[in-house]
Amino acid sequence: MIDTVMSLSEFKAQASRLLKELQEHPRPVVLTQNGRASAVLHDYAQYQRQQESLLMLKLMVQGEADVQQGDVSPQKAVFDDLRQRLVP
């Protein structure tokens, strides 16, 4: 995927058209200010997918740390505990 790069002033002049275009063809748009990258624009669905992916990675890192520290429980014990909490 190739990022589109545009200046902030160019984005301001074409914001409505660009937002419609991003909905049809999602891709990151890098906004520059004074010739330097300052922000990245995504369509909302793409942003949500990215946030969900980051959350999954954080959970994987946390799980790996738990395993390395020996902080683990047998699967059966975990599910038995969950069942007890859900069923009165």
37 and 63 co-located in one domain: no
**How does pLDDT run across 41-87, given as a tens digit for each residue?**
988 998 999 999 999 999 999 999 999 999 999 999 999 999 999 88
37 and 51 co-located in one domain: no
Task: Tell me the C-alpha distance between 5 and 9, whole Å.
Answer: 12
Name the strands in the sheet holding 29-33, side by side, starting at the edge strand that comes first in the sequence: 4-7, 29-33, 36-41
Q: The CATH number of the domain where 34 resides is what? A: 3.40.1620
Q: What is residue 1's predicted lDDT score, i.e. its pLDDT?
A: 56
12 and 26 co-located in one domain: yes
Domain count, the chain: 2
Instruction: List the domain range (segments joined by +) for residue 25.
Output: 4-42
